[in-house]
Structure 1
């Protein structure tokens, strides 16, 4: 409010003054609370003096949100700019963002965004072509954003720029900030005085878009950066776990709700969905989601998260109630993902019951769960409930040695650590046997084990929420107070109870029949705070894998990034893994983003209790789920398994007699199926992550009126031929592919 009033007042006085503003959320605040100022803004936009660079709802983080969240930032922001200002902004403004994934040029170029401005994590070049993994580019400019108009701040940068480029136009971004203020009278008056000096270059109040358009003619001469623009503030990948957990939860619930709406064909107020997304996007403001805001910010953001959860539950319940036929002897499962999957599902049925699908396949209830197989993508499957006891082959157990058809695992009975893990299918050690010396059976192998909780103490340092400090002590949690094994028909649960200081620590390991993964839970009530005296406590869970020269991969928005296998903390979305030849091992997560790699060691960072600006950022209750995946899986397979671990199926009591609308075949990953933003059709999006071109086949079960190649902002393009309910969709390496379907 303050900044908008200041700038509009200054514009009345200084007729050549221009201004750029980058967040739709701020425009909405002004529109709702000061209609007079908003009217003036619209007038200045029309004059070309006020530039909206708002291609995002807020200036968000880009390493932590899902690719579909970044798309929602863009499509809702462009919609707002179009409706309120009659504009389609071409600049994406990321001045303070803590790093920029390599997939961003791919996303922006497909969203009709040509230009990128940022400050952090540059490559030493103020102006360059930033090339995405798929070869598409945006024109990028890198500079300090909160500058002032003074010869000593402008001229040295200008000289450096002129030495690098034979270009006369230079962009200088100024204004009071961090976080607001804008231009000042002092800046404007200094600019006027500089205009009077003949030895000075011409200073022109302008816009970012005007600058980019002028230098674009020299585009072919500019250097190319074909890489991500990372890393900085690695502590932000983990600090304030609550906001990151809330964000991931909102993302998956909204995407699942959208696929339910699209698959069911039910009409829902699209403004309601947009408002729920806007609340989720608000929490992605970089200082908030990165854990570097004050404590009261998270009280507010956590309330917003709960509002989103309640809103989703309300809409979801209404749709499912309208679809289902009540029948106490039936349950229906909806798969919100776009491919066939197997999944264990929680059910309210006692032992001695089973469910049977229409093909006669039976799954018995074990520990309150059933294994549902071949759940069609974006499809419903109904099961009959039957009282039936079936003889089941239990998981083999010999003391603390366990074996199913996929792997064998040995737990040390004293520590609860994984002492050996063997891949039966591929005849390969995942974690080689940790042997002690014959002379001393108790001699230690803990660092070479699996599922080891490490408490790392960072020395006291400034900006503790942002920065991971020097580690001065590591405490390995190798003492178990109690180990309990709970055997079921299809599931074995191992519970390890520990203690660190005054904090209880629980680790749970889940072994399944007919399911090739190992699931883990970490739970604690963390009470040990960071301080300027003791530093920052940080917890990781570490696995030492049988890989000698592993390539290290991380998930980034809509893609995968191979990164250097050197000791450091990296950001990743739902998984990260090590791969050697055709075999690999990955740690999947449901709400974490920080991974530490060091050779054949891979850790998931669980929490960081920093002390500034919030003195208790990660104090309190934590329950973290992660999954171990190993074997001969392609990168596409791993991505899909990580999606499955994150996106729960929906269980409905009763029958839903509804077919899926389509199925898709090919080496691609569907990321979204939803109603189009104009309400006239449906949007299907899929990505390619292995760098291979190819073709996908889509088979419809419903008559299609039109199938069109679209772009991220859902502008309709070329019509795709549909013959006998089938269509072939070509895709290029590392591409994001969007299609509009009209039934």
Structure 2
């Protein structure tokens, strides 16, 4: 341009056209430089450094910007996840929502993910994960006649080994992520691969090698192609547009891409791919792709399994209450005793799913975000309890007269003995047996055997004092501590508040090698990602043992349970614990109350076990994953802190030891030493995280055999699903309800009205890892279909059936649609 004296605009245009022509010729002569699919995108965190209320505004601004770019005539493909985002837009700006719908119909705007939000996948129940896809996909189908086929979780902190099955049964064909590129120990070996889940299901995975917030520069595209490890198998993929807090692509990026496609040395850029074009390209490559088996563990952000006790407590309570509400409402509806509260339950589910976003539940949001999330979940829990209570009251026949009774309902598909709060007085069960009970802190407790998927009724027969026990459960002092003892166990608590011994009297085995429940504080100051991270040096730190300020003392001594209480201190922080054992059970309960003020701490409970195994098992949503206890490979060494949903178990085949915890998900396992993380007091982005009063309960469970034969999974379901009780009066005998369904084998996770309102949906899965036979019996005649997780693609299994049998493959999830048949009288 400097060679043109006094250039006129015509000269500039002529030179520019000549440069463009030469570049076009060079580009056309290029062969074998590869391809990159480009997707415009805006990563919009449902909450992070801002609350939900601000995210609504971010969505409005971002979607308006993208719509404007399309109106300006730019040709590109934009992808956006999260049905929640579209739901907010629908409420805020119906006109813009309609514009987005037209862009989706044209194939220029692609909903991706098929989920309600980009959720966590390791700390939520299997049913919650299924509902993320059920309600996400159905929203997109209802509003846009569009089914997502591209899974999209670029920023989630690790991926459950059941995701391939859940995604495939939710209509997805490809899964796109990025977070494994943040690994701190091992470089993830593949960027395009087939991911095999624990049940044998598989899905193609495509990794975004650089970022999900690209800006489309030449250096960025060059670096992407250099780093991309799938060149020999499939095109690369790149996501561009400002994100985290929204924004998306800009006109500058879209103008720049016109030039990028003409720069020699860069791969061919596919600017406006259609969903089918991208998916078909990847499917054609699938036969040549390498395979990855099992979980995709994120070697980073290990603190999110523990951070923020309150949000994790509220989540498991909400998950449990919503399944109870659906279960009781289904019984109510099928027995024609009331309406199914579909709208109320859907609104509750949407709130629960919203709080499972990958920064909210993991504990990595600002305090303002949690002000909204806590309040919303507390409202939901209250609303769900009211739904359950109303349903229960309508199921049970009551009157104003008659003896006082207590109905105890069990939603699990096996019989078990539950600890139940009862009114004062003596009660008999329906077989005439007196319920042995115990008063503690003004509450009357009894152990009640509950039938599967049904209720039992207790009847008060006396105002007399509570019946004493036979001494099966007791607490007593010895020279070096206190003994808690029942029919199975003899547990010694030392005066330093550690568990010195757990001796099983039936198995004749000592489970503790040196000491258990040793509470220690480890310095945890990881730096830039304070709420997210735990460093290996923190786990290896010897830690500081808490100081006794109130020595162990007996506070309950049978006949239902015996317990010891004590208090410990670290700095200015106080820990109160009560250890309980129960009649007829191997469970040992640790009720924990914290008043914490010290920052930069990781509080762990350590157990040094007399059980040796090279493998340990950990519950994940709808399944179990096996991890090494021996740190040989770099992949094993990176797993110095790992997640579990509700339990972990280490067994040698003959003896096993499990820790059961519903809201404390982080574990360290090294040989026979196991540590459960109880608290992580981070300062960024929430300086008040886990400060003040918090409470939670965890259990240890010594047993014979492995996790399955020792029924670890059942104990976890029992203590956290619990029972529902109703105190009422009724004249005469209370008729027993015939269960609407009996399920023998597998785990019945949920029972609900179908989304199409034409039947009942039952979800069953195998947790043994070996497969199982499931016998199902109904109280009426049904046609039985298998459907996928989003309740689509029905396949007839049985007609006019009152019983039928199905086989589950190892870790298989089956969703059954039961349509009631009207038989003419």
Distance of 2:625 and 2:718 partners within structure 1: 20
**Aligned residue number for residue 587 of structure 2:** 517
* 1:474 equivalent in alignment to 2:543: yes
Q: CA deviation at 1:687?
A: 1.2
The 3-state SS of whatever aligns with 1:704 is strand
Aligned residues: 715
Q: CA deviation at 1:140?
A: 0.8
Q: Is the 8 A contact 1:416 1:480 kept in 2?
A: no
Distance of 1:707 and 1:362 partners within structure 2: 41
* 1:683 equivalent in alignment to 2:761: yes
Q: CA deviation at 1:372?
A: 4.2
The counterpart of 2:203, out of the listed 116, 121, 138, is 138
**Aligned residue number for residue 393 of structure 2:** 321
Distance of 1:722 and 1:341 partners within structure 2: 32
**Aligned residue number for residue 716 of structure 2:** 642
- Pairs within 5 Å for 1:277-316: 277-316=349-388
**Aligned residue number for residue 621 of structure 2:** 557
- Pairs within 5 Å for 1:399-410: 399=477, 400-410=482-492
Q: CA deviation at 1:196?
A: 4.1
Q: Is the 8 A contact 1:545 1:600 kept in 2?
A: yes
- Pairs within 5 Å for 1:42-191: 42-121=101-180, 123-143=188-208, 144-159=211-226, 161=228, 164-167=231-234, 169-191=235-257
Larger deviation: 185-194 or 499-508?
499-508
The 3-state SS of whatever aligns with 1:279 is helix
**Aligned residue number for residue 568 of structure 2:** 498
Larger deviation: 322-331 or 415-424?
322-331
The counterpart of 2:743, out of the listed 664, 675, 691, is 664
Distance of 2:230 and 2:236 partners within structure 1: 12
**Aligned residue number for residue 344 of structure 1:** 419
Q: CA deviation at 1:551?
A: 2.3
Counterparts in 2 of 1:83 and 1:428: CA distance versus 1, 3 Å:
same
The counterpart of 2:677, out of the listed 574, 582, 605, is 605
Distance of 1:624 and 1:545 partners within structure 2: 23
Q: Which runs of 5+ in 1 are unaligned?
A: 433-447, 531-535
* 1:385 equivalent in alignment to 2:460: yes
* 1:247 equivalent in alignment to 2:312: no
Q: CA deviation at 1:484?
A: 1.9
Q: Is the 8 A contact 1:132 1:227 kept in 2?
A: yes
Distance of 1:320 and 1:543 partners within structure 2: 42
Distance of 1:741 and 1:408 partners within structure 2: 48
Distance of 1:704 and 1:723 partners within structure 2: 5
Q: Which runs of 5+ in 2 are unaligned?
A: 1-59, 182-187, 632-636, 821-825
* 1:416 equivalent in alignment to 2:497: yes
**Aligned residue number for residue 212 of structure 1:** 279
**Aligned residue number for residue 425 of structure 1:** 506
The 3-state SS of whatever aligns with 1:561 is strand
Distance of 2:95 and 2:799 partners within structure 1: 52
**Aligned residue number for residue 6 of structure 2:** none
The 3-state SS of whatever aligns with 1:635 is coil
Distance of 2:373 and 2:475 partners within structure 1: 46
Q: CA deviation at 1:651?
A: 0.6
Counterparts in 2 of 1:354 and 1:642: CA distance versus 1, 3 Å:
same
**Aligned residue number for residue 234 of structure 1:** 302
User: Which deviations, in whole Å up to 9, do the C-alpha atoms of 1:609-668 show, x marking residues without a partner?
Assistant: 1011111211011112011111125434211211111112001012664222122112x1
**Aligned residue number for residue 80 of structure 2:** 21
The 3-state SS of whatever aligns with 2:663 is coil
Distance of 2:585 and 2:417 partners within structure 1: 8
The counterpart of 1:270, out of the listed 342, 348, 352, is 342
Distance of 2:88 and 2:467 partners within structure 1: 61
- Pairs within 5 Å for 1:580-619: 580-619=652-691
The 3-state SS of whatever aligns with 1:287 is coil
Larger deviation: 71-80 or 682-691?
682-691
**Aligned residue number for residue 708 of structure 1:** 785
Counterparts in 2 of 1:309 and 1:402: CA distance versus 1, 3 Å:
closer
**Aligned residue number for residue 442 of structure 1:** none
Distance of 1:576 and 1:184 partners within structure 2: 47
Counterparts in 2 of 1:541 and 1:201: CA distance versus 1, 3 Å:
closer
Q: CA deviation at 1:76?
A: 0.8
**Aligned residue number for residue 543 of structure 1:** 607
User: Which deviations, in whole Å up to 9, do the C-alpha atoms of 1:408-434 show, x marking residues without a partner?
Assistant: 11222x2122111101121111114xx
Distance of 1:537 and 1:26 partners within structure 2: 36
